[in-house]
Structure 1
Amino acid sequence: MVRKMGVYAVLAYVIYGLFFYWYLFYFANTKLPFEFQGTKADPATFLNGRELMLSVEYSKIRNLLFFLSTPFEWLFYFVILLFGLSKVFKQWAENSSKYKLLQTGIYIIWLSFFAFLATFPLSYISYSLSKTYHISTQTFPSWMKDELIDFWINYGTMLIIVPVVYWLMKKSTKRWWLYAWLLSIPFTLFMMFLQPVVIDPLYNDFYPLKNKELETKILAMATKAHIPAQHVFEVNMAEKTNAMNAYVTGIGSNARIVLWDTTLDRLSDNQILFIMSHEMGHYVEKHIYFGIAIYLLLSLFGLYFVYRIMNWAINRFGKELKISDARDIQSLPLLLLIISVLMFASSPLTNLISRYEETRADRYAINMTKNPEAAISSFQELTRSGLSQVNPPLLVKIFRYDHPSMLDRISMLEEYEIQHRTK
């Protein structure tokens, strides 16, 4: 039975991968609708022939890697359980220490290490792909350093969360999910507060914007929008990527507006002002706080579903999965598998909400700057620098895009330009 379940799991993954390969490379139609051809949203009007070809190639491969990566994680956790490796990790932990807390930490490090090894090939392929298409400028040692930082941050986070969750399971087998959710509220807020000042600087250097003339313009816009900003930060991303970006991070006094130095180097002041007003739109409309609220609401339902599905799976397949009790630490791969599946399943909803907020921020930005030419050209440059797909396939947009497509964004700006040109 165990061997049969393993074969079925691998076969299901292969069929899934073949489906998305067929969908992305042969079925999906990414051509622009006739009404958009020749407009400023048409990549043929602002990309040369080589850039068009590269953007199509790069997008297809990158999207395929996206759809392969998450289910591969599910397959890994399933195999770990099916072949008793989770039980082996637990035995190694028990043989290494007589203290329960240390045993949990040792179990987690073994599971994390094998997960890192299993997913490393896909991660490296993604890195190599971005190097091949000149998106990434990062050296392998620098990339490897970031991967190891990711590993230890994830391990540290699990080292805090996992012992608490399993302690709650033992204290309350029926309501542990609710207590875990209640504890997740202050933890989530605390991590968001730490993000800009503790976690992000581990990857890159952040410093106040060097261009003081531009900073004055940005802060003047912030004052107009009633945003209590004192600094705009830039981050040294040129040594890692040719892509451009800007974002808002953190909450409360640690909230920051951040510009990549690649954005500063390649865009004009007016284009940057549009991008910054977009980020201010997120602040003004409190998208960060709405995002936290939505995340916490979804996590409440998610933890309940984890509780229900986990108990069902152990009752139905406990013998095959080598799990006799959900409260046993060796059930952790099953817990992580269920969480990952639920997050993937909920991504169409969370992406839809995010795209709505991004559209709102775009509208806020164009109403503040009233410069559609700068806005449109900034999106065109973002498309060029990241070899982005202007009109992505439907499934890619649903599962992957937390921002509107460039077709949606540029066409909205063109409508604004036409409306205000006639007034």
Structure 2
Amino acid sequence: MVRKMGVYAVLAFCLYGLFFYWYLFHFADAAVPFEFEGSKADPITFLNGRELSLSEEYSKVRNLLFFLSTPFEWLFYFLILLFGFSKAFKRWADSSSKYKLLQTAIYLIWLSFFAFLATFPLNYISYSLSKTYHISTQPFASWMKDELIDFWLNYGTWLIIVPVLYWLMKKSQKRWWLYGWLLSIPFTLFMMFLQPVVIDPLYNDFYPLKNKELETKILALADKADIPAQHVFEVNMADKTNSLNAYVAGIGSNARIVLWDTTLNRLNDNQILFIMAHEMCHYVEKHIYFGIAGYLLLSLLGLYLTYRLMNWAVRRYGNELKITDVRDIRSLPLFFMILSMLLFAASPLTNLASRYQETRADKYAIEMTKNSEAAITSFQELTRSGLSQVNPPLLVKLFRYTHPSMLDRISMLEEYEIKHRNE
């Protein structure tokens, strides 16, 4: 039975992968609709033939890797349970120490290490792909350093969460999901507060914007929007990527507006001011806080469903999965697998909410700057630098895109330009 379940799981993953290969490479049509041909949203008007070809190739492979990576994670955790590795990790942990907390730490390091090894090939392929298409400029040693930082940060985070989670399971078998969610609220807020000043600097160097003339213009824009900003930060990304980006991070007094230095190097002041106005909208309309509220509501539902599904799985397949009790730490891979599945299933909804906020920010930015030419050309340059698809396939947009497609964004700006041309 165990061998049969393993074969079925691998077969299901292979069929899933073949479906998305067929969908992305042979079925999905990323061409610009007829009504947008020749418009400023049509990539043929701002990309050359080679860039168009590279964008199409890169997007297809990158999207395929995305759709393979998350289900591969599910397959990994399922096989870890099915073939008794989780049971072995617990046995090794129990034999290594008599202290419960240390046993949990040892179990976690084994599980984390095997997960890192299993997912490393796909991560490396993704990195190698971005290097091949000249998106990434990051040397392997630097990339590997970031991977190891990710590993230890994730391990440290779960080392805090997992002992508390399983302690709650033992204290309240029916309500642990609710108590765990309540504890997650201050933890989430604390981590978001730390993000810009503790976590992000582990990966890159941040410093106040060097171009003081540009900073004066940005701060004037912030003053116009009633934002009490004193500094704009830039981050050194040119050693890692050719892509452009800007974002708002953190909450409270640690909130920051950040520009990548690649953005500063490749866009002019008017284009940067439009992008900054976009980011300011997220602050003005409190999108970060709405995002936190939405995340917490979804996490409540997610933990409840995880509780129900874990109990069902252990009752139905406990012998096959080598789990006798949900409260045993051997069930942790099952917890990770179910949680990952629920996050993936919820991503079309969370992405839809994010795209709505980003659309609001685009409209806010163009109303504030009233420079449609700078806005349109900034999006065109973003498309060129990242070899992005202007009109992605439907499933890609649903599951991957937290921002509107460039077709939607540029066409909205072009409509604004036409509407206000004679004003």
Give the shorter-chain TM-score range: over 0.9
Partner of 1:270: 270
Q: How does 1:239-278 map to 2 (within 5 A)?
A: 239-278=239-278
Q: Secondary structure at the match of 1:343?
A: helix
Partner of 1:126: 126
Amino acid of the residue matched to residue 110 of structure 1?
W
**What CA distance in whole angstroms lies between the structure 1 residues aligned with 2:370 and 2:31?**
30
**What CA distance in whole angstroms lies between the structure 2 residues aligned with 1:138 and 1:29?**
32
TM-score, normalisation: structure 2: 1.00
How far apart are 1:342 and its partner, in Å?
A: 0.1
Is 1:23–2:23 an aligned residue pair?
yes
Is 1:107–2:103 an aligned residue pair?
no
Map Cα deviations across residues 30-55 of structure 1 (whole Å, 9 max, x no partner).
Answer: 11111100000000000000000000
Amino acid of the residue matched to residue 168 of structure 1?
L
Q: Secondary structure at the match of 1:391?
A: coil
Is 1:390–2:390 an aligned residue pair?
yes
How far apart are 1:251 and its partner, in Å?
A: 0.1
How far apart are 1:422 and its partner, in Å?
A: 3.7
Structure 2 unmatched ranges of 5 or more: none
Q: Secondary structure at the match of 1:234?
A: strand
Structure 1 unmatched ranges of 5 or more: none
Is 1:375–2:391 an aligned residue pair?
no
Partner of 2:195: 195
Q: Secondary structure at the match of 1:301?
A: helix
**What CA distance in whole angstroms lies between the structure 1 residues aligned with 2:73 and 2:327?**
22
How far apart are 1:413 and its partner, in Å?
A: 0.1
**What CA distance in whole angstroms lies between the structure 2 residues aligned with 1:237 and 1:97?**
43
Amino acid of the residue matched to residue 40 of structure 1?
K
Is 1:286–2:276 an aligned residue pair?
no
Amino acid of the residue matched to residue 72 of structure 1?
F
Amino acid of the residue matched to residue 288 of structure 1?
I
**What CA distance in whole angstroms lies between the structure 1 residues aligned with 2:118 and 2:260?**
32
Partner of 2:223: 223
Partner of 2:295: 295
Partner of 1:351: 351
Root mean square deviation of aligned Cα:
0.4
Q: Secondary structure at the match of 1:392?
A: coil
Amino acid of the residue matched to residue 317 of structure 2?
F
How far apart are 1:228 and its partner, in Å?
A: 0.8
**What CA distance in whole angstroms lies between the structure 1 residues aligned with 2:334 and 2:31?**
41
TM-score, normalisation: structure 1: 1.00
Q: How does 1:23-102 map to 2 (within 5 A)?
A: 23-102=23-102
Q: Secondary structure at the match of 1:210?
A: coil
Partner of 2:157: 157
Q: Secondary structure at the match of 1:248?
A: strand
Give % identity: 83
Is 1:326–2:339 an aligned residue pair?
no
**What CA distance in whole angstroms lies between the structure 1 residues aligned with 2:82 and 2:228?**
54
How far apart are 1:326 and its partner, in Å?
A: 0.3
Amino acid of the residue matched to residue 10 of structure 2?
V
Is 1:362–2:362 an aligned residue pair?
yes
Q: Secondary structure at the match of 2:258?
A: strand
Amino acid of the residue matched to residue 124 of structure 1?
Y
Amino acid of the residue matched to residue 125 of structure 1?
I
Q: Secondary structure at the match of 1:228?
A: coil
Runs of 4+ residues deviating >3 angstroms: none
Map Cα deviations across residues 383-409 of structure 1 (whole Å, 9 max, x no partner).
Answer: 000000000000000000000000000
Partner of 2:2: 2
**What CA distance in whole angstroms lies between the structure 2 residues aligned with 1:228 and 1:338?**
42
**What CA distance in whole angstroms lies between the structure 1 residues aligned with 2:422 and 2:126?**
47
**What CA distance in whole angstroms lies between the structure 2 residues aligned with 1:331 and 1:181?**
19
**What CA distance in whole angstroms lies between the structure 2 residues aligned with 1:332 and 1:299?**
17
**What CA distance in whole angstroms lies between the structure 2 residues aligned with 1:30 and 1:117?**
34
Is 1:232–2:269 an aligned residue pair?
no
Partner of 1:167: 167
How far apart are 1:130 and its partner, in Å?
A: 0.1
Map Cα deviations across residues 314-366 of structure 1 (whole Å, 9 max, x no partner).
Answer: 00000000000000001000000000000000000000000000000000000
Map Cα deviations across residues 78-130 of structure 1 (whole Å, 9 max, x no partner).
Answer: 00000000000001101111100000000000000000000000000000000
Q: Secondary structure at the match of 2:259?
A: strand
Q: Secondary structure at the match of 1:421?
A: coil
Map Cα deviations across residues 217-260 of structure 1 (whole Å, 9 max, x no partner).
Answer: 00011111111111000000000000000000000000000000
**What CA distance in whole angstroms lies between the structure 1 residues aligned with 2:34 and 2:76?**
44
Q: Secondary structure at the match of 2:420?
A: helix
Amino acid of the residue matched to residue 13 of structure 1?
F
Amino acid of the residue matched to residue 62 of structure 2?
R
